[in-house]
Amino acid sequence: MWDEQLGLCALCREPMQRDDIDVDHKIPFSYGGGHERANLQLAHSCCNRSRRNSVAPRDLLRYLEDRYMNR
Binding site for Zn ion (CB under 5 A): 9, 11-12, 44, 47
Q: From the CB of 48, what's the least distance to Zn ion, in Å?
A: 8
For residues 6 and 69, which CB has a smaller minimum distance to Zn ion in the complex?
6
Q: Phi/psi of residue 48, each to 5°?
A: -60, -45
Q: From the CB of 43, what's the least distance to Zn ion, in Å?
A: 5
Q: How many CB atoms lie within 10 A of CB 8?
A: 15
Q: How many CB atoms lie within 10 A of CB 38?
A: 12
Q: From the CB of 11, what's the least distance to Zn ion, in Å?
A: 5
